[in-house]
Structure formats: C-alpha cells, structure tokens
C-alpha cells in the first residue's frame, strides 16, 4: 500500500560504482547499474534466458552481462547480444525510469509514461558548496508509514534517544501541524532550555559556547510519498531562535528518504545537511557517526511495533495532537493511493 507513480530513492551512487546492485523496491526486484557513459539504468532483476538474477552479473561496455550464461542486457530491458545467439526475438524485461540527482539514484516503479524527472524534489543544499551532507542507509522491517509517524512526532526523542537529543522540554512544548497542499509541516519551538548532548557538540562544532541556555526548534516537513526533511537547531537563548543570525546558532536539516521494500520493510536513507563549517570533513564524519548511532535506536522499536500491529490488525490507534503530522501525511498518501486506483485519473494525467 504505497504510491507507485512517484520517485523513490533507490540507492546512493557509490552502491553501483563497482558492480550492479540488486534491490527490491515497492515489491519489485530491480537491478541498478551504470550503463553507457556512466548513465544509471534500472531493469528487472530477471534474466530472460533462464531466470537468473542479473545482479549477480557484471557490467561490460555499458551492458549488463548475466553472470550465468552471458546474456547482455541493455538499459532499455532489451537483450543486446549473447554469445553464439541471435537475440532479435528474445523477450524484453521491464526497464524502470531512473535518474541520478542530488547525490541519490531515484526510481519510478509505477506507470513509466507518467514519470517526469521534474517531480524529483529540489534539494537546495545538495548542490551548494556552503552546505555539507553526510548520511547512511538502514534496512528496517516495518511499514514505511510507521517511519513517517516516527519522524513527524519527535516526542519520541525523549524516550528513544534520551542520552543524545532527547529532553523533557520536547514533550512540554505542544507541536503545531499545518497542511499546505501536499506538504505537512509540524513545528515545535522551545525557549530558554539546556542543550542536550548532541546539540552541545554541534555548538562546539560551530565554535559556540555549549553551556548556556538555548532556544531550540524542530520543523518537520513531509512531502509525498515519504520524504521527511526536518529543520533542527539551537541558538543561544534570546538571539532570535530559528531566525537568529548564523553566529549565534547551530542548525541543520535532517534528511529522511523512506523507500518501501515490501509492505512491511523499508530502505531508510537518513542523513544531515548543515551549513556551518561545511568544509570540515572530520566534523561531517563525526556528525554522521553520531546520527547513525541515534537513528539505530529506533530500529528495534519500529520492528517491534510492526510485529505488534500485524498481530492485532484490528486495533484502533490513538491520534493525539502529537500524532497530527503523521495523521495528515497518511491522509495525503491515502488520497494518492485512491487516485492511482482510479484508472481514469492516471490516463488523464498521461494524456
């Protein structure tokens, strides 16, 4: 139950630099590889000869060569050649629209006729030398919407991430949720509070005192199908908070691309973009390591929650004010799912 006529992050470029990558996305088994001139390509991970996964093969001259008997597959899903064979009549396999942009490989698993690269979200920080980015990938056995819920309700930080970014002041500050078209924004502002350990370190990383009261903010932005970008930061208290000048604050964007693998598992691309000391690679590495440790704390909780929900499928969960972001996001997702299920709409969109 995920929209398919949309762009998902499939992998990062380094994952296909040396060899093809087999990865299931939206229940489709896909192989990603670099075709002619390094252009990224994505086709079904199924050799039309004998059904072997093409991802066990290799790339030669921009063609994906099956590692079993040498069939050569082109980026269009058509067999280009095979030793000792005439391949003209060979059946094709499905090719998927795929684009490399902003440091990610994006794939479209729905109706290819509707795929428009202009719909890939604009990530201003991705191509700006004033910004630095570091991130990673986790595989989690849960419905992608549980991860959206997680990220749109940051009160969980107080419990799941108590030793790093959590603090009781989070749950004391009620969040506000707004819907703007297909975007859902849940914001929380905390004033004159102590900075938790992760943000103390970030203040130091920006050469700022870490032992003074701060104003702290969290602005979670959901856009379909399952992207959550969160503006987070702290400023020395009373300097303007979110709007404080750069010399008084440490801020960044938490980046979350959530890609369904199956109905109950995801590829979770997480990272952080920052615009202070962007050239400091050691700082980037340190932040990534810290964030990786923190985000790993969510895994057990999410997978346990998923198992519980599968066991009790009929229970109604609560929808509190803190759940507003997730609730609104699911409402948008439900509308998109309904649109996809209506043949006329996609036909209309395609025409």
* Contact window for a copy of itself (CB under 8 A) among 45-53, 136-144, 216-224, 273-281: 45-53
Two structure tokens written together for 332: 């948008």
Contact characters 307-336, a copy of itself, x per CB under 8 A: -xx-xx--xxxx-xxxx-------------
Toward a copy of itself, which CB reaches closer, 94 or 178?
94
- The residues, any chain, with a CB within 8 Å of residue 268's CB and separated by 6 or more, are 137, 138, 139, 140, 147, 256, 257, 258, 259, 295
Judged by CB under 8 A, which stretch of 127-135, 155-163, 203-211, 264-272 contacts a copy of itself? 155-163
CB of 314 vs a copy of itself, minimal distance in Å: 11
Per DSSP, the residues of 287-326 read HHHHHHHHHHHHHHHHHHHHHHHHHSTTPPPP--GGGHHH
Q: How far is the CB of 69 from a copy of itself (least distance, A)?
A: 5
Of 128 and 263, which has the nearer Cβ to a copy of itself? 263
Q: 3-state SS of 13-68?
A: HHHHCCCCEEEEECCEEEEEEECHHHCEEEEECCCCCCCCCHHHCEEECCEEECCC
Q: Which is nearer to a copy of itself, 155 or 328 (CB)?
A: 155
CA nearest neighbour of 40 among 117, 114, 105, 102: 105
Site string for a copy of itself, 114-153 (x = CB under 8 A): -----------------------------------x---x
Which stretches of the chain bind a copy of itself, using CB under 8 A? Answer: 29, 45-46, 48-53, 56-57, 65-70, 82-85, 90-91, 149, 153, 155-156, 158-160, 168, 171-172, 174, 300-301, 304-305, 308-309, 311-312, 315-318, 320-323
């Amino acid at each position: 139950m995920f929209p398919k006529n949309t762009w998902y992050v499939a992998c990062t470029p380094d994952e296909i630099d040396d060899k093809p990558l087999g990865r299931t996305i939206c229940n489709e088994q896909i192989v990603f590889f670099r075709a002619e001139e390094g252009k990224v390509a994505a086709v079904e991970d199924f050799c039309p000869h004998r059904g072997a996964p093409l991802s066990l093969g290799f790339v030669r001259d921009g063609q994906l060569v099956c590692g079993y008997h040498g069939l050569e597959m082109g980026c269009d899903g058509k067999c280009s050649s095979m030793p000792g064979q005439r391949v003209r009549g060979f059946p094709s396999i499905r090719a998927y629209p795929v684009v490399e942009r902003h440091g990610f490989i994006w794939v479209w698993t729905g109706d290819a006729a509707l795929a428009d690269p202009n719909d890939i979200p604009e990530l201003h920080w991705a191509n700006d030398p004033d910004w630095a980015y570091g991130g990673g990938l986790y595989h989690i056995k849960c419905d992608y919407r549980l991860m959206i819920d997680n990220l749109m309700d940051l009160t969980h930080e107080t419990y799941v991430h108590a030793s790093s970014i959590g603090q009781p002041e989070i749950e004391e500050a009620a969040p506000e949720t707004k819907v703007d078209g297909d975007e859902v924004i849940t914001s929380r502002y905390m004033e004159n509070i102590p900075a938790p350990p992760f943000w103390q370190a970030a203040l130091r990383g920006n050469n700022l005192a870490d032992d003074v009261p701060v104003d702290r903010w969290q602005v979670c932005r959901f856009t379909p199908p399952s992207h959550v970008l969160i503006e987070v930061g702290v400023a020395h208290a009373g300097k303007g908070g979110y709007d404080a000048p750069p010399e008084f604050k440490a801020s960044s964007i938490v980046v979350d691309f959530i890609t369904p693998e199956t109905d109950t598992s995801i590829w979770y691309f997480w990272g952080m973009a920052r615009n202070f000391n962007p050239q400091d690679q050691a700082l980037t590495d340190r932040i990534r390591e810290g964030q990786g440790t923190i985000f790993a704390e969510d895994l057990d909780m999410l997978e346990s929650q998923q198992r519980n929900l599968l066991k009790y499928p009929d229970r109604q969960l609560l929808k509190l004010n803190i759940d507003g972001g997730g609730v609104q996001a699911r409402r948008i997702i439900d509308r998109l799912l309904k649109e996809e299920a209506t043949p006329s709409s996609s036909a209309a969109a395609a025409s």
